[in-house]
Amino acid sequence: MSTNERHVPVMLRRCLELLAPALAEPGATVVDCTLGLGGHSEALLDTFSGVRLIGLDRDPVALKLAGERLAPYGDRATLVHAVYDELPDVLGRLGTPRVQGVLFDLGVSSMQLDESGRGFAYSQDAPLDMRMDQTTGISAAEVLNTYPPGELVRILRAYGEEKQARRIVGAVVREREREPFESSGRLVEVIRDALPQAAKRTGGNPAKRTFQALRIEVNGELAVLERAVPAAVDTLAVGGRIAVLSYHSLEDRLVKRTLAAGAGSTAPAGLPVVPERYQPRLRLLTRGAELPAEEEIAENRRAAPARLRGAERVREVLP
């Protein structure tokens, strides 16, 4: 299966619309901070013929596949193995301190969900890995088998918003003493058996929130995002634009908070005239978070939870 067949970019047209005014000038640079299989990047290079693209991904497999997909664009596309909070360092090495566009498509990629052996999907049995970069860090199995029960409960509540966290962790601890966890299928069974019937009847697969929590913990996703969005805003030239696709409320709240802070005045209360250094440095481009159309969700079920926010840099930060 080709990368084009495996990956349908979410809210693609709207992302292009949001970024378009900043990418119209020849020589503009856009960063795809979450390259994945390169669907959004390919569309950016196709739509804006004068644009240069820098693509980041922590997953070496995704970089290889995206590289094959974007090879026809030659040196217009520069792909870098990096986590997206490393953006300022990457731009520094490339001699491009300011860019005109930044795109984030957060969460787990289609490739990672579909690739057997990664353990991201609760719908298929696979080794419990969940690392986006399999060359570094600890796996989901190590988290399940070694973390203290209290820490596992915290993770499930904080990152999965799982109301049954204590019940699930109790079952996990009993099971790991009998035999360490290795496969996603066994974890799904343990979760199903641990939950009361009422909890199984709502909200889709009962393992969904636990898998989300483990993935976020393994990859440090929220901590990375908390650093990455402000860093990306800082790299935008005046007139530059950022678009961020989130897939759960934890991500969306972080993005909303950062963009809203940039779009607000930092002046002390009561000033009769607000000096320029206190003026907003961002202008919000979306009213709240925009959602995918029903038609898109019908064609691509993975678009259903998407939330899109955008902003434009309107002012440099004065010293």
> What gap in Å lies between CA 53 and CA 57, rounded to an integer?
13
> What gap in Å lies between CA 202 and CA 198, rounded to an integer?
7
Q: Was 105 annotated as part of a binding site? A: yes
Could you tell me if 131 and 62 are in contact, meaning their C-beta atoms sit under 8 angstroms apart? no
Q: Was 164 annotated as part of a binding site? A: no
> What gap in Å lies between CA 87 and CA 227, rounded to an integer?
10
CB count in 10 Å sphere of residue 126: 18
CB count in 10 Å sphere of residue 127: 15
Q: Was 84 annotated as part of a binding site? A: yes
Burial class (CB in 10 A: 0-12, 13-18, 19+), 227: middle
Distant-in-sequence, close-in-space partners of 305: CB < 8 Å, separation ≥ 6: 247, 248
Q: Was 40 annotated as part of a binding site? A: yes
Burial 295-314 (b: 16+ CB within 10 A, else e): ebbeebebbebbbbbbbbbb
C-alpha angle 40-42-44 in degrees, rounded to nearest 5: 70
As beta bridge partners, residue 242 has: 102, 311
Q: Was 57 annotated as part of a binding site? A: yes
Burial class (CB in 10 A: 0-12, 13-18, 19+), 27: exposed
List binding-site positions. Answer: 38-40, 57, 84, 105, 112
List binding-site positions for S-adenosyl-L-methionine. Answer: 38-40, 57, 84, 105, 112
